[in-house]
Amino acid sequence: MRIAIVLGAALVLSGCGASKGLRPAKGEALPPAPYGAKAAPTAEQLLKPSNQARPARSDELLKSSEDRRSDDFDLPPN
């Protein structure tokens, strides 16, 4: 019974997180614009990961696999 109460409380409390949009704290501003940028990025743009930070998945390696050539340095242990 206690486990059900604890799990229920955890479920209820997990839903009351940041439900509003993110804003800078009072008196604080967003980071300045990067060097060479025309405008400072918005909070939405700062939270979206770039393609370099989160690259797309590529399965091409599995579709076009090739046999490896022999390795002259792959010697058995002595």
Instruction: Give pLDDT tens digits for 9-65.
Output: 777 777 666 566 667 788 888 788 889 988 888 888 888 888 788 777 766 655 566
Whole-angstrom Cα distance, residue 14 to residue 32?
33
| Closest C-alpha to 30, from 49, 45, 43 | 43
pLDDT for position 72: 85
pLDDT for position 46: 84
Instruction: Note the pTM of the prediction, 2 decimals.
Output: 0.36
Whole-angstrom Cα distance, residue 72 to residue 70?
6
Amino acid identity of 75? Answer: L
Tell me if 76 sits within 8 A of 66, measured CB to CB. no
Task: Record the tokens describing residue 38, joined without a space.
Answer: 């025309």
pLDDT for position 71: 84
